[in-house]
Chain A
Amino acid sequence: EAQVTQNPRYLITVTGKKLTVTCSQNMNHEYMSWYRQDPGLGLRQIYYSMNVEVTDKGDVPEGYKVSRKEKRNFPLILESPSPNQTSLYFCASTREGGTEAFFGQGTRLTVV
């Protein structure tokens, strides 16, 4: 089954404790992205990747890092989480030349 898998689904952490949210897709898509969803703001792009070792900032990259060492994986790293990063996070993938994005189930992160 074609899918984007994120882990964990839920995470509560403390300010300053580094964390990683994993994302993996099995569709051999070139493009992958991370979004955060906040009430009244919709989804905003954090980072994107157009292929292995090619990443770039989206609209709200501050406080986040990503890496793309393998085509299928695109982890989101919060080196020093803060309460304003409490949000619902989605990973998405798209094939090169396409526009339809496939989304993971989401990760609800709470930073206290």
Chain B
Amino acid sequence: GNSVTQMEGPVTLSEEAFLTINCTYTATGYPSLFWYVQYPGEGLQLLLKATKADDKGSNKGFEATYRKETTSFHLEKGSVQVSDSAVYFCALSEWGYKLSFGAGTTVTVRA
């Protein structure tokens, strides 16, 4: 079956530091890949997505590239802000009615 493994947290960074969260996946077909973000006390928001190999998703300074050869979709941001403090989830979907999620990574950015 499909599964997602992402870097365990928590991760604590200083403002303007570089952030990377590793995500690898297992899938039987050709999934779409996603990063969702959950800010404190809120629901899930789509941060970025990629639908095929070598696609790069980007949003709000975050980037992730769909790497089929390494089955990875690592999330990166060059300079984090306090407002980036959140829980980040890597997820995949082969069929629109089901998402498979990683365990989530809690990121705290300190001023």
A residues contacting B by CB (< 8 A) are: 31, 33, 35, 37, 40-45, 48-50, 58, 90, 92, 94-101, 103-106
Contact = CB atoms under 8 A, between A and B. Distances in A.
Nearest to B49: A100
A45 B98 contact: yes
Contact of A105 (B43, B97, B103): B43
A94 B44 contact: no
Given A100-B46, A106-B43, A44 B98 contact: no
A95 B4 CA distance: 23
Interface residues of B, number: 25
Contacts of B42: 105-106
Q: Which of B31, B98, B101, B104 has the most CB of A within 10 A?
A: B98
Contacts of B96: 31, 94-99, 101
B101 A44 contact: yes
A90 B44 contact: yes
A46 to B, nearest CB: 11
A103 B44 contact: yes
B66 interface: no
